[in-house]
Every structure is written in structure tokens, then in C-alpha cells.
Structure 1
Amino acid sequence: MYDLRITNGLIVTGKEIKKADVYVKEGKIAKITNEAFEADKTYDATGLYVLPGCLDVHVHFRDPGHTHKEDFPHATRAAAVGGVTTVFDMPNTNPPTLNAEKFSEKAEILKSRAYVDYALWGLCLGRVNRENLQGLVDAGAIALKFFWGYAFDKKSFQLVYNYKPGMPDIIPPLNDGEVYELFEDVARTGSLLAIHAENHSLIQAMTERVAKSGRRDYEALLEARSNLAEELTIQTAISFSKATGAKLHILHMSTAEGVELVRDAQKKGIPVTAETCPHFLFLDADDYERVGPAMKVYPPVKRKRDREALWSGLLDGTISLVCSDHAPHTLEEKNGDLFSIPAGMCGVETMLPLMLNEVNRGTITLPFVVQKLSENPAKLFNIYPKKGALEPGADADIVLVNMSMKKEIRNENLHSKQPLTAFHGTLIKGWPVATFLRGQQIVQNGQVIGEPVGELIKPQK
């Protein structure tokens, strides 16, 4: 006797689509077959596609420390409704996950607050916490994150966006020598090093130049935070990866130049991977006049040529995965001058629908979506096939999608604490309608069911 049977649906893996039933027992997929067996519960998936739950490896759920912007209960409900069953939360919370003790403290705080499973990133600060990196990895950090070019507050260890030399109680951005040492440190742990790739010195100089001009338009922002800023950092990072053997992952890649650099490095056998986000795939600079401040993210959404290059990189495998970089701010914070408002927006709930819509447009296939949102993320971070797979033995994390359903993305319908997206008003064809976490149904028709049952996920040894 099985616990659950999902019947009459079309199974989608990274390789194929086939008609079969899924049987679940004790939270795991037990069998995928056309044979009929008894189960305690049966879900009729007639007309629906059955996908492995998505992984969003790049989210800022702001919990603990900044819960006026977002928190785990709201954000993980949003994830569940969006078909995302595992999220990787970034380390710049308060307290930040900069050592094993803080990692465990954050994990304990989030216990019983998550509606989906979650993993936690560890934070790299260079010499400040170099002795703690192995402890973070041993504690279960999914990987290590370095905010290249950013300063940190010495007391709170929070990012300082308006850093200027001489500011008190600040850890300044690392110089290249210190960054090289950081790559060496991470290489020794065997973990993956993910970087925010923007060159601080260039951004500082160009921002000052733009400020003197008095311009506050979107083109001015792209001059201040240019393609070259990403290109230079990725270039240096690839060289450091080659020299140290550190496994490198480029976060939220946004430029054509970045795609070319990563593609070339991969051909040379350098251990580098990359991700991009829906806002870079479906928006470009021309959309700012229509969308407004909700579109401001760092790195910024670039031009049409960059969007096209990112699609090329995604389609040919240069870019391994798509993630949301979900990073909300309050509606008041996002309402103001382009250069003064914070960067970031909601994304975890709309990531899968945007990709499903692209399937309906004929650009990509459902197996491709499974590769980029489920299989590849799980493989890269060493949690496959526990996560990201529809096969016997995998966690029964399952999302059912209706590829014919049409509705608009609306801010007021999002489940985030601060529901603001650049895709407000976008008509989408293809929506998740039911989500299962380890065999337990947690969403039906956009409504979250039951209590939070999410668990901490650690990479397999």
C-alpha cells in the first residue's frame, strides 16, 4: 500500500515526457509506472504535467534581522505557490552565517517557519572569517558566497552600499590579493565559491562621474554600473579559479561579455558555472520607462543584446540554471529616485510561471525547464537525486502544472510580505496548480495547505 498515487498526468524529466503514475511512500518516490497499485490517497492529474519541484538557489528571505522586508513564512509560502520546493537562502541576514555557530543559530531560528525545504549559504569575508570556512562547510552550508567589491559593517556584518574610504567601523572591500587568498581558502574546503561579480572601483568612479552630470535616468545607471564592471570581475575570478582550483559560480550573470568569458573558460576546463535570472531573460533597459523602480536590481538589467546573449548561453548550456534572486524591500523603500532606492524585487513565486510561458511561446521545452530549474541546480550543489529528480528514491517534491491556464501576474496576488514585481500585469500561459513536499500536498490552486513542514537540507558528503 502506497501513501499517494498521482495518476493520469504526464511525467516530465530533463530527458522526456511520458504518461505514467507516481507512487509515493514515506515521503519518497517509490515507483513510476503505468501499473495500478493501491494508495491511501489518489490525486487525479488529468490534463496536467508532473514536474520535479523547482530549486531556487538564490534568495534573500531577510530572516532573521530584516523581517520588515520579508520573512520565511511569507517567502516560503510564495515559493510553494510558485512550484519551488527547495530554496537556498543567502548569508547576509542578521546574524549572518559567517561561522558554524551562526549557521546553526540561523537554522534553529528558521525551524518550523518554512513551508518548503531550505539550504543556507555560508558567508566569505576574507581574512575576517577565513578560519571559519571549513567549519561552515562541515556544519552543512550548501556553498560559500562572496560579495565581491562590497564593504561590510563591522558590528552587524551587513552590506554597506554607499561605502567611501575612511568610514569608521567598516570592513572595506577586499583588494585582489586578499580575494586571491579567499579563493585559496575556499579551494581547500572543497566547497563551491559563488560571487557577486561587479568591480567596485570602476562602479565608484563611474557613479561619481554620473552624479556630477546630474543625470538620474536608467541609461545613467547603466553607465554607473556598466557591463565592464561585470566583465572585469568575472575575468579576474576565472583567472583565480584556474590558479587555485576553486570551483567558481557566477551569480545573477547579466551581460553578453560574461557569457563569452564563462563559455571560453568552460572550453578550457576551468571549473566555472553560471546562473541567470528571469528579469535578465525577459526584461531589458527599454522596459524601465514602463516598469519603473520595481525593475531596479544589482547588477542592473542591461540591454537587448545582453538579454539575447543570456538566452544563447542558457540554450547552449553555458549557463547551468535559472534562479530568482528574490530580494524584496518595502514598498515605501522602492518608491523614489532611481539612484537612491534599494536594488531588489520579488521573484521566487513568478520564476516557474515565466519559464512555462516561454515553453508555450515555443522557445524552450518542458524538459529544458526541468533541467534548468530542478536537475542542474540539485546536481551542481550536490543534493541530486534527493532533490530535483522524479525517480524512485528521490524526495517526493512534485509540482503539477496546467499549461493551458492563463492569468496575469499581479502584485496583489503575490504571497510575499512586500509584493512588488517588475512583471506586474504580465499575462502568463502556464501555471503551477498543486505542489507536494516530500509527498505532502502543500498547495492547491494557489492556496497554501497546512502548517510549515520545511526542513534544512545539507549537501551530500
Structure 2
Amino acid sequence: MSSQLVCVDLLYTGEAVLEDACIRVSGGRVERVFTRGLRGISGLDLRGRRSLAIPGVIDLHVHLRGLRLSYKEDEESGTAAAASGCVTLVADMPNTQPPLRTTEALREKLSSLKAKARVDYTVYAGVPRSYGDAVEMASMGIAGFKIYPEDLVHAGRVQDVLEAAEEAGLLVVLHPEVPELFAGPDYGWLRRVSRPCHAESAAVDLLQQIARACGCRPRIHITHASCPETVVLSKRRGFTVDATPHHLFLSEEEAGGGPSAGWAKVNPPLRGLREKSLLAQLVVEGLVDAVASDHAPHSPWEKWIHPAAAPPGFPWLEWWPGFVAARLLGSMGIGGLARLVSQAPAGILGLEGRCLWEGCPATASILQLERTRVYHKGYSKALYTPALGMESFDCAATMIRGRIVYTAWDGMLGGVYGVLATGDIH
């Protein structure tokens, strides 16, 4: 197989930052790394553009929709949006239509991803009705199971999932909220009051109690923690935890009011300035294991209605790695950023370590470290975001297993290239 060169201003190998560096790629892996002086190459040369290459970004939490929700987003548009944002692997959530709570629905979803995905992917299954179903689903190449707030009232089914996940070595992901602790109806405003932080913490404790009752010890991951106390409690319980760009860098005061309040509606809700600041501090201190987008697209008409009726969630895949880098690179450095968006997510999923040194998979996210502003790139079907117009870095190029699948000037290159990333770990 022929080799190619990719050159950047800064290359993070997984251990060190190299300046004026080139990698030679062959057979989907890094064959050799060169530093300084290599000129006149035939390949992708991004030097002089303030380019930074890090091991490929992994998004632990996305909603690609598809199936009967393809009018919101589908596997092709969502993974193309991911490639345009420098995301190389997405982990898709099971609240589709039909929900991925049966082997039939899961098989249909995997088939659709195989036919359409532009980046690598994996899937979480929902909580099925029986232990036998959970065992069968665990054998289908999934990353793990997702437990939603409404599942926590069915302790027996949750125990089935915990046991099946432990036996298969899979992840269990929790959306941490207990609906019984919500303070009144959702009027669309001040949602951080109606869905308080203690409802998050209670869900973390409840799942631990269910696990203790069955003697189960699977790997448990708490996703989109919106409150600092949720992070601290999760770490005390021995769980991994992620936070989203919107909970880290947006607040309800800043984005949750006015006629576009429906745009910023999300579950868990945006918090106040205090919670946002403390959560970001926990990221810098290393208590948050990963950043994940919770990309949750809807059609524009669904988000333009009254916020009490608008569905929760908004799109992130076209921008979030650059958006996060623009805000954390100064305080965490390149290594800290790569840990949050690439290396730690790989470990959480149980995948091969992310690196860009000789012998490593040639999967890279190449950011351009020049400030621009968030705009709609045209890949995602969702045309709105509360981050519109905010400062961000952009994605210069995305490489997956040695193939350049996106550049900022040529757009998407080639067709379907994604594979089921967790298919080999079972």
C-alpha cells in the first residue's frame, strides 16, 4: 500500500509536542515521524497555518437520530458533521425511533451506520426487557448500555443490564437525573430550578445502590454532568464522568432567555454562572475524565416553538472540538486537551490507545489555531445552535486510519469510510 505524508506546525504524539513535524502513513498506521526540515513534500502540508494535530477526537455521546427520526438528522449527515468538526469516532445513543431496546432495532441501527457512516462509530443499547435480550445485545459489537432516568424505576431490568455488561466487559452509561425530584412542571424558563442539581446526585447514588444489590461491578460512566457536585460524587463512587461544552461554557443567564430560549433547551438544563465556572474548574483540575458533545439535533421548526414545548438538545458536531480547544488550551495545554477529547474517551470505551507515533493508528484531528466564529457548515440538518457567532477554532483536516476524509477547503472527501470501532473488543 502506498504511503503519504501529513505535515503540521504542531504534532502531539500522545506524549510530547513536536514542532514542524510530518508523519508518514502506510497501511492505516503511522510508519515514521519526521521533525523539521522536510520540504517540498507530496501530501497534505498544513505548516504555516497554525495547525495542531492530536490523536483523533472521540465523542462519547451523540444522537445521530436516523431510522424514523431521519428528518432531524441521519447517520450520513451526522457523521459528515462530525468529520467537519474533527471528530473521528462517535458513540450513538439509543433513544431513536424505534428505541434500541430490542435486538431487531439494534440490528437495524447497526446496518444503517455501516451503510452511511463517514467516520468510525459505535452504539449504546437501551435497557431491554429481559436478561437474555441484554446478553444477546452485548454480543453485537456495542460499546455498552445507556440507562435513562425513566429506567431507574425498573431496578430488576437495570440489574440485568449491569450483569450483562460486567460479563461482556462493556460500559454502562447513566443520564443522571431522578424525575421524582423535579420541582414542578417545565415552563421553559429557569429550568435549572425545576430540574435541580440534587436530582443528578441522587441518580448517581441510586445506580450505585442497584449495583450493590446485585453484586455487580461493571464499568459505569456518568454522562453530561451539569453540576460540580455530580462530578465529585461520581469520582468518589469510582465512576468515570464527562461534561459537555454547553454545561462548561454556557449558562442559562447567557443563553436561556428571550425568543430563542428553545434553541438552548437541553437536558440536563443549562445551569447558572456559578455552576458553570465550578464545573470548568473541575475540568482543569482533572476530575472530569472527558468532554462529550451530547449532539442532539432537531428540525428548526421544532426548536422555534415555545420553549416549554420545544424538545431538548442542540447540535455540536461541526464545532465542539475547536470550541473547547479555544477555551481550554491556554489552561490545560495540548496534552491536557488531547486527554480530554481523545485519549481518555478511548480508555473509557476500552479501545486501543490514541497516539500519533510510529506504529500507532493514523487517526488524527488537525485543528487550525486561529480564532473564527461558529457558523452553520451545512452538514448537519439542524440549523440552529446557541453557540452561533461565538469564538472558536476550526477543523483544518480529519484523518481516519490514514485517509483524509475532510479538509476545510475541499469539504468531505470520498464516501462511506466508518467502521464499528468496538466490534473487535468483544
> TM-score with structure 1 length normalisation?
0.84
Counterpart-to-counterpart distance in 2, 1:181 and 1:140: 18
Whether contact under 8 Å (2:242, 2:289) holds in the other structure is yes
Aligned-pair distance for 1:177? 5.7
Q: Cα gap change, 1:118/1:414 in structure 2, threshold over 3 Å: closer, same or farther?
A: same
Whether contact under 8 Å (1:99, 1:135) holds in the other structure is no
Residue 262 of structure 2 corresponds to 293
Q: Does 1:352 align with 2:315?
A: no
1:249 corresponds to which of 213, 221, 231: 221
Aligned-pair distance for 1:235? 1.9
Aligned pairs for 1:24-423 (under 5 A) are 24-34=25-35, 41-47=42-48, 48-125=51-128, 128-149=129-150, 174-176=153-155, 179-180=158-159, 182-203=161-182, 206-208=183-185, 216=187, 218-219=189-190, 221-241=191-211, 243-265=215-237, 270=238, 272-287=239-254, 288-289=256-257, 292-359=261-328, 362-385=330-353, 388-403=354-369, 405-411=370-376, 413-423=377-387
**1:135-155, CA deviations, whole angstroms, 9 ceiling, x for partnerless residues?**
2222111111111225xxxxx
**1:210-240, CA deviations, whole angstroms, 9 ceiling, x for partnerless residues?**
7xxxxx3622x22221112111111222344
Whether contact under 8 Å (2:165, 2:171) holds in the other structure is yes
1:441 corresponds to which of 396, 404, 412: 404
Q: Which moved more, 1:243-252 or 1:339-348?
A: 243-252
Q: Which moved more, 1:137-146 or 1:80-89?
A: 137-146
Q: Cα gap change, 1:100/1:11 in structure 2, threshold over 3 Å: closer, same or farther?
A: same
One-letter amino acid matched to 2:32: K
Whether contact under 8 Å (1:375, 1:384) holds in the other structure is no
Whether contact under 8 Å (2:141, 2:420) holds in the other structure is no
Counterpart-to-counterpart distance in 2, 1:438 and 1:4: 12
**1:132-174, CA deviations, whole angstroms, 9 ceiling, x for partnerless residues?**
2222222111111111225xxxxxxxxxxxxxxxxxxxxxx62
Whether contact under 8 Å (1:433, 1:445) holds in the other structure is yes
**1:18-75, CA deviations, whole angstroms, 9 ceiling, x for partnerless residues?**
1332111122222223399999942212132121221111111111220010111111
Counterpart-to-counterpart distance in 1, 2:264 and 2:389: 13
Aligned length: 417
One-letter amino acid matched to 1:352: P
1:455 corresponds to which of 412, 416, 419: 419
Q: Cα gap change, 1:18/1:141 in structure 2, threshold over 3 Å: closer, same or farther?
A: same
Residue 5 of structure 2 corresponds to 5
One-letter amino acid matched to 1:118: Y
One-letter amino acid matched to 2:402: G
**1:106-149, CA deviations, whole angstroms, 9 ceiling, x for partnerless residues?**
22222231111111112213xx1321222222211111111122
Q: Cα gap change, 1:381/1:318 in structure 2, threshold over 3 Å: closer, same or farther?
A: same
**1:176-215, CA deviations, whole angstroms, 9 ceiling, x for partnerless residues?**
4654554344334432210111102222xx224x7xxxxx
CA RMSD, 1 decimal: 2.5
Whether contact under 8 Å (2:300, 2:382) holds in the other structure is yes
Counterpart-to-counterpart distance in 2, 1:263 and 1:110: 33
Q: Which moved more, 1:115-124 or 1:303-312?
A: 303-312
**Secondary structure of residue in 1 paired with 2:173:** strand
Q: Cα gap change, 1:4/1:309 in structure 2, threshold over 3 Å: closer, same or farther?
A: same
Q: Percent identity?
A: 25
Whether contact under 8 Å (1:193, 1:247) holds in the other structure is yes
Counterpart-to-counterpart distance in 2, 1:28 and 1:99: 36
Aligned-pair distance for 1:313? 2.4
Counterpart-to-counterpart distance in 2, 1:460 and 1:96: 24
Whether contact under 8 Å (1:115, 1:452) holds in the other structure is yes
**1:274-322, CA deviations, whole angstroms, 9 ceiling, x for partnerless residues?**
1110000101121122662211100111112221222232223321110
One-letter amino acid matched to 1:244: C
